[in-house]
Chain A
């Protein structure tokens, strides 16, 4: 088991016993009732929203400024900005604040925060693909990403008790964002070994941790959902929502499949099959009255749809022309194989192989080595690998 997972598990076992907790609450209640004054109790989420009031005032002022000065075009131009661009401040401090202000329900707030977290990941991908992601920019993105991801998780928490089906949809969406961009990150890093610095790893770790956290929340919201009397109606609403999304996805896939390589088309077909299977299994469980299990299948289908949509978008954005270098074989294995089979006399054997000298699966290093020397220093040429987004389910 991964030590970090073990650490978390072990830490979680350290907690107050029920008796200790009750005793402590009694002491607190006694003390509270002895106090005449009625203080203002901060929200548990106050840490996240400590500047909310300020933000709202700023956003209102900003909206007025747009109306009065006609700077809407500036806001629009800023949408494509990435950290380091002059317009980036407008994008995050103005455009996104306005979007946050416009969101009034918990589900729309969760959607806005999820979208902001995703924008940070997309910006990181653009910078990585360009080879421009330095430590400062990555750190800025990491902090902003974590803030939005936390906000989204908080709003989903708010939804869990009152609207579990909305919480489910929102948490699957958030998890899908993390999973899809985790894969896109990996595909870009594969092609940009020189950018696979520690700082990219920090972002990747953030992403993996958030994905794990939101998966836990999703399980919680499903449990809350399973205990409800209106489980049938609520899971029916999720089914309707996922079915609509599946139909849209099928249309998108059919449209995008034109012009793709055969292996990509096959990957899309596999994804469509996975979506349909999950939906069918969900419907069957729904018919049997197993609403919690049905919901799990609908979540799976929704996740396949969401990840596929994002991978396709990333493919359009990042895929580069060029040949992918041929298969990669670790040096020792290749040399052993050649010598063992005595294909040629050992002193004559010259083989060209891809090695794992750099980060596995990133740039492909082509070595020419002789089996008698068994070393990799004869020639070494790095062949840049084009970015290819993998569409497989």
Chain B
């Protein structure tokens, strides 16, 4: 593979995973600039890793793991707004370039319902629907069995629907 083809292949990974990775970081750090930096840094670290002769079997899982570690590093350095605060206040997802967001109020409602879930269930729904990870990928990243993840997604979905329809009580 020549250098041009390698660049294209790597940028293809960026095209596919930048947004899900950005969401992954954003849900955890609640800061757009920091989430963007974490996304970029994850790709740069993957490139460094590959450049030193290492191979990556599953690039998506690799990127999400690196991003997860960078989020932990971020919290070690600084405390920040919690996800719950973010969801209560609502958030501006794309800043000025938001297009086609007609259900902002409903979006806030569903995010509030999401924040009412136990942390593990919330996490798994964000990974499944926010970061577009498959059950098996979530299992690899979280170190749990695919069965456990499947059941948790199902329970969380059910609980979210209840919270959404009937509120916390």
Contact = CB atoms under 8 A, between A and B. Distances in A.
Given A1-B103, A31-B44, A14 B22 contact: yes
Q: Is the interface of A mostly helix, strand, loop or mixed?
A: helix
A8 B134 CA distance: 14
Given A37-B52, A50-B58, A150 B12 contact: no
A45 B39 CA distance: 20
B72 to A, nearest CB: 21
Contacts of B126: 11
B146 A25 contact: no
Interface residues on A, range: 35 or more
Contact of A3 (B6, B55, B97, B160): B160
Contact of B129 (A11, A21, A25): A11
A43 B53 CA distance: 16
Interface in B1-54: 1-3, 6-7, 9-14, 16-19, 22-23, 26, 36, 39-40, 43-44, 47, 50-54
Interface in A1-56: 1-4, 6-11, 13-18, 20-21, 24-25, 27-29, 31-33, 35, 37-44, 46-47, 50
Contacts of B155: 198
A28 B58 contact: no
B132 to A, nearest CB: 8
B119 interface: no
29 contacts: A2-B161, A3-B161, A6-B110, A7-B130, A9-B107, A14-B94, A14-B130, A15-B94, A21-B18, A28-B10, A28-B40, A32-B6, A32-B47, A33-B7, A37-B51, A39-B50, A42-B13, A42-B55, A42-B58, A43-B9, A44-B16, A44-B17, A46-B57, A46-B59, A143-B150, A199-B151, A201-B154, A202-B154, A205-B157
Given A15-B22, A46-B57, 20 more contacts: A4-B129, A8-B129, A11-B130, A13-B93, A13-B98, A21-B18, A24-B14, A24-B43, A27-B40, A27-B44, A29-B11, A31-B44, A37-B52, A38-B3, A39-B50, A39-B54, A44-B59, A44-B60, A146-B146, A202-B150
Interface of A: 1-4, 6-11, 13-18, 20-21, 24-25, 27-29, 31-33, 35, 37-44, 46-47, 50, 139, 142-143, 146-147, 150, 198-199, 201-202, 205-206
